[in-house]
Amino acid sequence: MEIIRVKDAAAGGKKAFEIIQQAMKDGIHTLGLATGSTPITLYQEMMASDLDFSEMTSVNLDEYVGLGGEDKQSYRYFMNENLFNQKPFKETFVPNGKAEDLIAECKRYDDVIATHPIDIQILGIGRNGHIGFNEPGTPLDSKTSVVDLTESTIEANKRFFDKIEDVPTKAVSMGIGSILQGKKMVLMAYGEDKADAIAGMVNGPVTTDLPASALQNHADVVVIVDDAAASKL
């Protein structure tokens, strides 16, 4: 696990972009992408660059159950606004949160991952150590599934909604096992509130109590952190 310390989120975005830029020169085809505030500086670097993504495929980690791509709080909308509208990809995959049969949607999404092996998986980390929406207790070999969001995750996400009652309580998320199929992991974390999770992920036991600790079992992981997030390493 390679730890890269950066000054702030802007510098972290530049570093993650450099990794993607070099990998594209080396011929990668598929990016696994994440939503939330953490990867925004990376997406800003991608949009400002002269890189052409029109032959690239993207596969997103997750989507809220009940929200369609036209909903401004959906992760499909987020990706369109923060990357895809400015930098079109050949294909972009986000789980369908409005699928009538969510179990079938999870199976379909794992088939997408199998058909489009992920070369670089971009990750953030939750304060409770979740990656994707894989909350503590999730089996470390899990596949894409419908997950119940914890109170802490709902609380963390309420800032994006008018009121907490509007925050979805379920999501379709790549499983930890699905995520670990990616060839290279690039996880970013900024701020003191992520310090405990980062310390547990890097130095703690591999345990379902901290889902991101499963990354210790992956052969190629880059962790990009500012001093605050790295303060307990």
Pairing, β 30-33 against β 221-226: unpaired
Q: Active site includes 157? A: no
**10 CB burial (10 A radius; 0-12, 13-18, 19+):** middle
Q: Active site includes 217? A: no
Q: How many CB atoms lie within 10 A of CB 147?
A: 22
Q: Active site includes 130? A: yes
Catalytic residue from among 63, 82, 130, 157: 130
CB-CB contact of 131 with 216 (8 Å): no
Q: What are the structure tokens assigned to 57, written together?
A: 């495929």
Give residues with Cβ within 8 angstroms of 45, minimum separation 6: 13, 14, 16, 17
Catalytic residue from among 128, 134, 157, 226: 128
Closest to 122 in 3D by CA, of 195, 23, 194, 193: 23
CB-CB contact of 228 with 197 (8 Å): no
Catalytic residue from among 45, 62, 63, 226: 62
Catalytic residue from among 45, 63, 135, 226: 135
CB-CB contact of 89 with 57 (8 Å): yes
Q: Active site includes 62? A: yes
Q: How far is CA 145 from CA 81, 118, 134, 135, in A?
A: 26, 18, 9, 12
User: Catalytic site residues?
Assistant: 62, 128, 130, 135
